[in-house]
Chain A
């Protein structure tokens, strides 16, 4: 069975400071892991994905995530937050059938 746990429902950072959104996963086999972002009134957009290649994955808009098997974690980071980063972020695990299991989301607020 696959599942993801997003440890924070809400994260607030000041503009220009680092972002850390935490995610732990559970999977019965080698997982595919994703981070998606959802801006209000817009569709979900893929930020980055891990599919058993490099453990440090770089995505769009300066985001990156590191796959740590020993910790079953896939935390999302960005060195410097921008106002446009304010959104809902979902950590996602993929199944072999290419279906996606979403976490409950982390709402990121960026304070000017």
Chain B
């Protein structure tokens, strides 16, 4: 399967613990996005990378959140000192650059569901 993959699919943690999620994009895609989806809502944009550069961060991305894409391939999203309000589905997507093959369409992974107790 050459789609976007995310690991783990589910994570249960206690409040105050740190968690890290991984996203592997489609291999030829330059852009990688993180979204958060809470129950009953649509996904909300968190941040995106073009290659290894983090180009935009949402106000939703508090200081406890950090994302990296060190080699321009996979990305990690870390949440420090988790809170119950962090419970959500964290989605990753990737795309080629607009104007290239695929016209910038974002392809989504299955998500990581985080539950903070």
* B111 in contact (CB, < 8 A): yes
Looking at the complex, which one of B40, B56, B111 makes contact with A99 (CB distance below 8 Å)? Answer: B56
Looking at the complex, which one of A41, A43, A102, A105 makes contact with B109 (CB distance below 8 Å)? Answer: A43
Q: Tell me which of B42, B91, B93, B104 has the highest count of chain A C-beta atoms within 10 A of its own C-beta.
A: B42
Given known contacts A42-B110, A43-B4, A46-B105, A102 and B43 CB-to-CB distance under 8 angstroms: yes
Question: Is A102's CB under 8 angstroms from B56's CB?
Answer: no
Kindly state the separation between the CA atoms of A105 and B56 in the bound complex, as whole angstroms: 25
Kindly state the separation between the CA atoms of A71 and B34 in the bound complex, as whole angstroms: 32
Looking at the complex, which one of B3, B4, B104, B108 makes contact with A98 (CB distance below 8 Å)? Answer: B104
* A49 in contact (CB, < 8 A): yes
Residues in B71-117 with C-beta less than 8 Å from chain A: 91, 93, 95, 98, 103-111
Chain B residue contacts of A103, Cβ below 8 A:
42
Question: Is B105's CB under 8 angstroms from A104's CB?
Answer: no
Question: Is A99's CB under 8 angstroms from B110's CB?
Answer: no
A42, closest chain B residue (CB): B110
Size of the chain B interface, CB-CB below 8 angstroms: 27
Q: Tell me which of A41, A46, A102 has the highest count of chain B C-beta atoms within 10 A of its own C-beta.
A: A102
Given known contacts A43-B109, A43-B110, A44-B108, A99 and B41 CB-to-CB distance under 8 angstroms: no
Task: Give A contacts to B, CB under 8 Å.
Answer: 36, 41-46, 49, 51, 90, 92, 97-105
Task: Give B contacts to A, CB under 8 Å.
Answer: 3-4, 31, 33, 35, 40-45, 48, 55-56, 91, 93, 95, 98, 103-111
| A43-B109, A99-B33 given; 20 more Cβ-contact pairs under 8 Å | A36-B108, A41-B110, A43-B108, A43-B110, A44-B43, A44-B93, A46-B105, A49-B105, A51-B103, A90-B42, A97-B55, A98-B48, A100-B43, A102-B35, A102-B43, A102-B44, A103-B42, A104-B40, A104-B42, A105-B41
